[in-house]
Amino acid sequence: MKVAKFGGSSVASSEQIKKVGSVIGDDPDRKFVVVSAPGKRFSGDTKITDLLIELDELAEDNKDTQHKVTEIMKRFSEIVEELQVSKTVLDSIENTIHSTLNSDWTGQMKTDALKSIGEDSSAKIVSEYLKTQGLNAEYVNPQDAGIIVSNEPGNAQVLPESYEKLYTMRQKDSISVIPGFFGYAKSGQLITFPRGGSDITGSIVAAGVQADLYENFTDVDSVYVVDPRVIENPEEVTKLTYKEMRELSYSGFGVFHDEALMPAFQAEIPVCIKNTNNPSSSGTMIVSEKDPDTRCVVGIAADTGFSNLYVSKYLMNREIGFGRRLLQILEEEGISFEHAPSGIDNMSVIIRDNQLTAEKELNVINRIKSELNPETISIDYGFAMIMVVGEGMMNAVGIAEKSTAAFAEANISIEMINQGSSEVSVMFGIRKDKLDLAIKSLYNKFFE
Amino acid sequence: MKVAKFGGSSVASSEQIKKVGSVIGDDPDRKFVVVSAPGKRFSGDTKITDLLIELDELAEDNKDTQHKVTEIMKRFSEIVEELQVSKTVLDSIENTIHSTLNSDWTGQMKTDALKSIGEDSSAKIVSEYLKTQGLNAEYVNPQDAGIIVSNEPGNAQVLPESYEKLYTMRQKDSISVIPGFFGYAKSGQLITFPRGGSDITGSIVAAGVQADLYENFTDVDSVYVVDPRVIENPEEVTKLTYKEMRELSYSGFGVFHDEALMPAFQAEIPVCIKNTNNPSSSGTMIVSEKDPDTRCVVGIAADTGFSNLYVSKYLMNREIGFGRRLLQILEEEGISFEHAPSGIDNMSVIIRDNQLTAEKELNVINRIKSELNPETISIDYGFAMIMVVGEGMMNAVGIAEKSTAAFAEANISIEMINQGSSEVSVMFGIRKDKLDLAIKSLYNKFFE
């Protein structure tokens, strides 16, 4: 029994949905299908979800919504017509849009309900199309599937009771087509997951039905050892562990939203990343345990947008609580930190830039000055973080050497090294303008 | 104008004190002399300060103290007789011992007063001896010198008002011989500095009198780039910066107590480490600014006795305040941390073992379990930390590579790397049984 999740590009057009149909038809084990909202058909196109967000904003501002509804329906109509499925599905979609617009929900509740229509419609269309292909498919609403979530609009967390209900879905003969991205609170209110939500739904369903495999169909053949925008035709990763995937995703790898794997991870369901456009390619398997035959380092991930808050004070190490108080000031200002390397008389805190407004920064600096009385305080923008990822690297001799040699050969000075907590990765901080150079040098070192 | 401080081995015997006399006589700029208590004369000998601590313990327990007083006085008598100085100094020392024993001070106050007698007596003897050598020397009590400290027994901090008084000492024609290790609270109570206290006194006097040079006489020709117990005849350091010295001292370098330099550092007084037994050797200069001609890495320091508290929890990075709360639990249990490297789902806290009792450890673990609900928690003993020290290393390409290559060549896996906050050092954590091997490999890499 397999759960197959199809991303936005896989359901962006009738042509793509036909590929989905043939993938489903090819393997009778694919009993659960989870779909995203239709994505971009071409560069410059707009995703359905973004149109729905625009619709929500118009409604919020009490502006005319009809032209936006028309624009959205036009996309769905095209798909439905080209797939030659029953047009009743279009009525159903349009009814959902209008009833949501006219509901007495407000604010984030309404936003969630409108945003979810992309996935919901996609599931309705795909199930209808599968029927035309002679498959016993049916649309299953997440509430009927049993996806019960916390009441956190836009940031739903699955509740444990979901899994029992989902497990009963194993009994069904038909192929269940479930929209991704949302579930229902106990109150019955529709709530969306955070970004990457369809992956989360797929992962929850796979865990719930105890699938043998969770297939995640995207538009790439596999995960690559490094960002293909930086290295042309990089090596493919055939197998990696959950932990490796999580570390890679965290640092801007982008194939998966990094938390999407949690339910599958906890249920020990293997995951396969595959390509809707090239389903015969074997893809990338994500498993629990490292295969001892595979090499130690599986990938290099990187991200920009970090700042370094640096504080120094002579005899800092004699002041019990200094580090804790520094982190508490940040916490009270609503800023989370990534890493906090410390010296004897100094401490750095690596923060994601997007958490800092000019006002917050000023608050933080003033509070640190007055509460901690440091000698030096500075915020340095323009950091990039690079992660070299591989389970077992902690016990492997020479990984740190190989990595640092790559930086040295590219003549890049390393501003920060963070190794010691994660058993799966070592992290380097450098100036962001050197990032591509560093990635290339690391790639040459580990994969060429 | 120079301040010359002589350590315990320099005043351990009449023979050594004669060397001190000739050092003082050689240079009329040496107007301020700070002395430690007589140290060990030979391996297995007992330091005077340790005898005084034993005396304090006897007194505390209301046991007979006379035999210990006799033992202490015997040491002083030998020195005084061999130096052929006036025996009135012995009466003065014995009077001090008895009046302290019979004082109504209790607890730590009495302990401080008794412990200080080693340095105090040493200063009395040295000043008398200098007089016999035709030098215009006089014993100056720290209170008369103006060394005013916080009221923290055994852990005195100098108060800023000391410096004004000390500065007036410049006017004196005579050579002032000042006992190290203690000062006086505003109340007039004698209070000792933390360990390494004579170095602190020397440093305070140098800052106060605005000395041109603070000479710290020990029993080694210089600071070495690495512990001479690990590497035979290692290279000497001719010059290093305050910051470098501080980082080296912190990690078990041991020539200096790491905080002893602060007053001299803040007053920008250059420091010279010299050898009483070989005063013509140029020693090691400690200065404010790095000499651009000297090499980047100046030394390798190391210390054992660290533990790694490891905590992991899936989605830890989404919990704002997790790291802060972990540090707060440690703080509330009175445990300070050295470093706290963190991964995405995990955090390590490096702690000095000597802070952990079985009971504290249990408390900490139980609190973390109940308050933070982690998936994994463990404490791993047996860590050693190695520091590669050198100002400017942050901007130098290849230091990290050279260091990590040294570990790889010695086949040692690196458990932790901490780089990024200190501009002066990079720190490596390894298993302690590999420490000597690691130091040797690093020494070969950077200094051979």
Q: Which residues make Cβ contacts (< 8 Å) with residue B388, sequence separation at least 6?
A: B297, B300, B399, B403, B425, B426, B427, B428, B442, B446
Question: CA nearest B249 in A: which residue?
Answer: A344
Q: Which residues make Cβ contacts (< 8 Å) with residue B358, sequence separation at least 6?
A: none
Residue A292 lies in a domain: no
Residue B293 lies in a domain: no
B89 and B136 housed in the same domain: yes
- Quick: pLDDT tens for A153-209: 999 999 999 999 999 999 999 999 999 999 999 999 999 998 778 999 999 999 999
Phi, psi (rounded to 5 degrees) for A52: -65, -35
Contact B416 A419 (CB under 8 A): yes
Nearest neighbour of A394 by CB, restricted to B327, B413, B421? B413
- Asked if pLDDT for residue A33 goes beyond 70, the answer is yes
Mean pLDDT score across all residues of chain A: 92
B210 and B333 housed in the same domain: no
Burial environment of residue B292 by CB neighbours within 10 A (0 to 12, 13 to 18, 19 or more): exposed
Q: What is the mean pLDDT of residues B8-17?
A: 96
Q: Is position B60 annotated in a ligand binding site?
A: no
Q: Is position A49 annotated in a ligand binding site?
A: yes
C-beta separation of A234 from A443 below 8 A: yes
User: Which residue segment(s) compose the domain that B98 sits in?
Assistant: 2-287
Number of domains observed in the structure of chain A: 2
Domain of residue A173, CATH code: 3.40.1160.10
User: Which of A155, A324, A339 is the mutation pick for testing B, counting most B CBs within 10 A?
Assistant: A324
Contact A421 B342 (CB under 8 A): yes
Task: Give the separation between CA B267 and CA B273, rounded to whole angstroms.
Answer: 18
Nearest neighbour of B397 by CB, restricted to A259, A412, A418? A412
How far is CA B97 from each of CA B70, B90, B93, B234, B335, rounded to the nearest angstrom? 11, 11, 6, 43, 37
A158 secondary structure, DSSP code: B
**CB-CB neighbors (< 8 A) of A390 in chain B:** none
| Res B198: pLDDT | 93
Residue A294 lies in a domain: no
Provide the percentage of residues in chain B whose pLDDT is more than 90. Answer: 73
- Quick: pLDDT tens for A217-229: 998 898 889 988 8
**CB-CB neighbors (< 8 A) of B341 in chain A:** 339, 341, 418-421
Provide the 3-class DSSP secondary structure of residue A142. helix
| Res A106: pLDDT | 87
Give the closest residue to B269 by CA, choosing from B205, B218, B352: B205
- Quick: pLDDT tens for B387-406: 999 998 877 788 889 999 99
Contact A401 B398 (CB under 8 A): no
Q: Is position B224 annotated in a ligand binding site?
A: yes
Nearest neighbour of B342 by CB, restricted to A250, A334, A339? A339
Task: Give the separation between CA B19 and CA B15, rounded to whole angstroms.
Answer: 7
C-beta separation of B248 from B389 below 8 A: yes
- Domain boundary (B264, B287, B310) is at B287
Q: Which residues make Cβ contacts (< 8 Å) with residue A231, sequence separation at least 6?
A: A224, A439, A440, A443
Contact B405 A401 (CB under 8 A): yes
Task: Give the separation between CA A111 and CA A109, rounded to whole angstroms.
Answer: 5
B185 and B319 housed in the same domain: no
Q: Is position A88 annotated in a ligand binding site?
A: no
Q: Is position A6 annotated in a ligand binding site?
A: yes
Q: Is position B119 annotated in a ligand binding site?
A: yes
Contact A417 B418 (CB under 8 A): yes
User: Nearest C-alpha of chain B: how many angstroms from A282?
Assistant: 29
Burial environment of residue B180 by CB neighbours within 10 A (0 to 12, 13 to 18, 19 or more): buried
The residue among A254 and A58 whose pLDDT is bigger is A58
Helices (H), A253-374: 262-266, 322-332, 358-372
The full DSSP string for A417-440 is: EEESS-SSEEEEEEEGGGHHHHHH
Q: Is position B229 annotated in a ligand binding site?
A: yes
Q: What is the mean pLDDT of residues A124-149?
A: 97
Q: What is the mean pLDDT of residues B308-329?
A: 87
- Pairing mode, if any, of strands A175-179 and A30-35? parallel
| Res B252: pLDDT | 58
| Res A182: pLDDT | 97
**CB-CB neighbors (< 8 A) of B401 in chain A:** 401, 404-405, 407-408
**CB-CB neighbors (< 8 A) of A339 in chain B:** 341-342, 420
Q: Which residues make Cβ contacts (< 8 Å) with residue A163, sequence separation at least 6?
A: A204, A207, A208
User: Nearest C-alpha of chain B: how many angstroms from A404?
Assistant: 5
Task: Give the separation between CA A296 and CA B39, rounded to whole angstroms.
Answer: 54
B304 and B267 housed in the same domain: no
- Asked if pLDDT for residue B377 goes beyond 70, the answer is yes
* Element housing A110 (H / E): helix A107-115
| Res A94: pLDDT | 97
B322 and B436 housed in the same domain: yes
B251 and B118 housed in the same domain: yes
Q: What is the mean pLDDT of residues A390-411?
A: 89
Task: Give the separation between CA B357 and CA B361, rounded to whole angstroms.
Answer: 6
- Rounded to the nearest 10 degrees, the angle between the axes of helix B399-409 and helix A399-409 is 150
- Quick: pLDDT tens for B112-149: 999 999 999 999 999 999 999 999 999 999 999 999 99
A162 and A80 housed in the same domain: yes
Sort residue A283 into left (φ over 0), alpha (ψ -120 to 50) or beta.
left
Per the DSSP assignment, residues forming a β-bridge with B418 are A418, B427
| Res B291: pLDDT | 82
- Quick: pLDDT tens for A332-389: 998 988 888 888 888 999 999 988 899 999 999 999 999 999 999 999 899 999 999 9
Query: Six-digit token pair at A307?
Result: 């700042």
Nearest neighbour of A425 by CB, restricted to B258, B343, B424? B343
A78 and A216 housed in the same domain: yes
| Res B258: pLDDT | 63
Give the closest residue to B35 by CA, choosing from B157, B206, B216, B211: B216
C-beta separation of B100 from B189 below 8 A: no
Q: What is the mean pLDDT of residues B423-442?
A: 93
Q: What is the mean pLDDT of residues B75-101?
A: 96
Residue B292 lies in a domain: no
| Res A255: pLDDT | 52
Domain of residue A404, CATH code: 3.30.2130.10
Q: What is the mean pLDDT of residues B197-208?
A: 95
User: Which of B419, B424, B445 is the mutation pick for testing A, counting most A CBs within 10 A?
Assistant: B419
- Pairing mode, if any, of strands A137-139 and A175-179? parallel
- Asked if pLDDT for residue A104 goes beyond 80, the answer is yes
Query: Six-digit token pair at B351?
Result: 């702690």
Angle B265-B267-B270 from CA coordinates, rounded to 5°: 60
Provide the 3-class DSSP secondary structure of residue A356. coil
Residue A293 lies in a domain: no
B414 and B376 housed in the same domain: yes
Q: End-to-end alpha-carbon separation of chain B, Å?
A: 38
Residue B346 lies in a domain: yes
User: Which of A417, A418, A427 is the mutation pick for testing B, counting most B CBs within 10 A?
Assistant: A417
Q: Is position B132 annotated in a ligand binding site?
A: no
B42 secondary structure, DSSP code: S
Q: What is the mean pLDDT of residues B346-350?
A: 90
User: Nearest C-alpha of chain A: how many angstroms from B261?
Assistant: 11
User: Nearest C-alpha of chain A: how many angstroms from B246?
Assistant: 9
Q: Is position A144 annotated in a ligand binding site?
A: no
How far is CA A321 from each of CA A328, A366, B67, B357, rounded to the nearest angstrom? 10, 19, 45, 20
- Domain boundary (A257, A287, A317) is at A287
Provide the 3-class DSSP secondary structure of residue A84. coil
Task: Give the separation between CA B7 and CA B37, rounded to whole angstroms.
Answer: 8
Contact B417 A413 (CB under 8 A): no
Angle B130-B134-B137 from CA coordinates, rounded to 5°: 45
Residue A246 lies in a domain: yes
- Asked if pLDDT for residue B255 goes beyond 60, the answer is no
Provide the 3-class DSSP secondary structure of residue B315. coil
**CB-CB neighbors (< 8 A) of A415 in chain B:** 394, 420
Residue B113 lies in a domain: yes
CA A347 to centroid of chain Cα atoms: 31
Question: CA nearest B417 in A: which residue?
Answer: A419
| Res B78: pLDDT | 97
Model confidence at A420, pLDDT cuts 50, 70, 90, reads confident
Give the closest residue to B421 by CA, choosing from A340, A348, A427: A348
Q: Which sign, positive or negative, has the C-alpha torsion B218, B223, B227, B230?
A: negative
Mean pLDDT score across all residues of chain B: 92
| Res A257: pLDDT | 63
Q: What is the mean pLDDT of residues A239-264?
A: 76
Contact A396 B419 (CB under 8 A): no
* Element housing A243 (H / E): helix A242-248
Give the closest residue to A283 by CA, choosing from A202, A218, A196, A201: A218
Model confidence at B254, pLDDT cuts 50, 70, 90, reads low
User: Nearest C-alpha of chain A: how many angstroms from B358?
Assistant: 21
Contact B262 A414 (CB under 8 A): no
User: Nearest C-alpha of chain B: how many angstroms from A37?
Assistant: 26
User: Nearest C-alpha of chain B: how many angstroms from A425?
Assistant: 8
Model confidence at A247, pLDDT cuts 50, 70, 90, reads confident
User: Nearest C-alpha of chain A: how many angstroms from B238?
Assistant: 24
A278 and A306 housed in the same domain: no
| Res A256: pLDDT | 61
- Domain boundary (A256, A287, A318) is at A287
A262 and A312 housed in the same domain: no
Q: Which residues make Cβ contacts (< 8 Å) with residue B102, sequence separation at least 6?
A: none
Chain A / chain B CB contacts < 8 angstroms: 172
Question: CA nearest B314 in A: which residue?
Answer: A262
Least confident residue range of A193-197, A424-428, B79-83: A193-197
A270 and A309 housed in the same domain: no
Q: Is position A214 annotated in a ligand binding site?
A: no
